[in-house]
Amino acid sequence: MAVAVTAYTISLGSSTPHGHKRFDAVAVLLTIGANGPMAFRRAAPEVSLVVCAASVTTYTSLGYWATLNGLGAAVALYTIATRRGPRTMAVGTVIVGAESAYGLAHQDIGTLKDVVIQAAVLVAIPVTFGINTRILADRNKRLAQLSEQLRRDQEARARHEVMEERVRIARELHDIVAHHLSIIAVQSGLARHIHAAGSTTVDDSLDTIAATSREALSEVRRLVVVLRVTPDRDATVPEPAGEAPGLGRLDEAVDRVRGLGIVVTVNVTGRKRRLAPGLDLCAYRVLQESLTNIVKHASATKVEISLNYTENRLTASIVDNGTAKQPPSSLVKPTGQGLTGMRERAALYGGSVVAGPRPTGGFAVSLTLPVPSDEAASATPGVAGG
């Protein structure tokens, strides 16, 4: 900008009107001094303004055409208004105002009043734009700070919710482990009694103890994985609250959804069988959380739940025909933090959760869990859910 304005002003100098001093080499140097400092106005706006104003005043006092070379000082004043405090801006305003009035007075444009008014207008324009630019920059800076703070708060809240969900899962796994250990205690006492009686059926009790111990150890490992959270967690461990539910209680959640006027169908394919408590709880929680999300976040009228049992896998899916809305409703108390909780639960058992909108409308959640064979499952006594 400095180079362009300087070159344009020098080109205008060749057409100086009659009655003004010829635009010579001195005028060229003063023109460079009046416009060139715009190049470093951001680094040193005060110096830029003083050099520009001094060059213009000298240019005018020597009798050159005073209409030229007024832009540099005005631009420097604008920069001061955007970057400096009121005191510096006031000093700069006085300097540029005096320089403008001096140049206008040499043009014989009218009375002293006219000179003062025009000089005030020439100064008010860059000052007003500079102040408005500073206000806008300050607002943008505050907005950026607030956005960053909001982002940090959201991340902290998300971490907190993940910790709470992990603690919930750990509590439920604790209940399952306690169930297994209770069976081990009972079977150990039974084995001791049978052994004392000299019966040969003690092997059955020992087999049960071995199978249940393996399952309990597996659940303990998952419990340790869940509890490996960051040191700054602030979630509190809730008190144990009864036995953990399973797919056997799915009908209760379904009935509550139907009570809200939503048509829910449940389809079961394959040979249904008893699942290990942890797997049973995982499948139930994913379906329960999906139902909760449907009621809270979608205006669905139909929901279809499918359970497919194969030899070594359980696939559970839930599909709705809703759209992304949030009508006020309360079905089941939220049991986790959405998809994050679902995926963490499934990952504990080597499974996976796939969720997303359907091309034909609605939303679908699909859970896949590896299931041990009937022989391995039947080796662990007890009912699903604890």
Give the tens place of pLDDT for each residue, 294-320: 877 777 889 999 999 998 899 999 999
Highest mean pLDDT among 303-312, 322-331, 340-349, 365-374: 303-312
Q: How far apart are CA 165 and CA 152, in angstroms?
A: 20
Q: How far apart are CA 159 and CA 347, in angstroms?
A: 18
Q: How far apart are CA 24 and CA 372, in angstroms?
A: 99
Q: How far apart are CA 310 and CA 327, in angstroms?
A: 37
Question: Cβ distance 275 to 384 under 8 Å?
Answer: yes
Confidence bin at 332 (pLDDT 50/70/90)? very low
Residue 368's SS3 state is: strand
Q: What's the whole-model pTM score?
A: 0.44
Helix axes 277-297, 250-258, angle to 10 degrees: 10
Tell which phi-psi region holds residue 382, choosing left (phi > 0), alpha (psi between -120 and 50) or beta: left
Q: What percent of the chain is modeled with pLDDT above 70?
A: 71
Confidence bin at 230 (pLDDT 50/70/90)? very low
Name the least confident of 148-157, 221-230, 312-321, 340-349: 221-230
Question: Cβ distance 295 to 333 under 8 Å?
Answer: no
Name the least confident of 87-101, 107-121, 261-275: 107-121
Q: What percent of the chain is modeled with pLDDT above 90?
A: 12
Give yes or no for residue 11 having a pLDDT over 90. no
Q: How far apart are CA 92 and CA 77, in angstroms?
A: 6
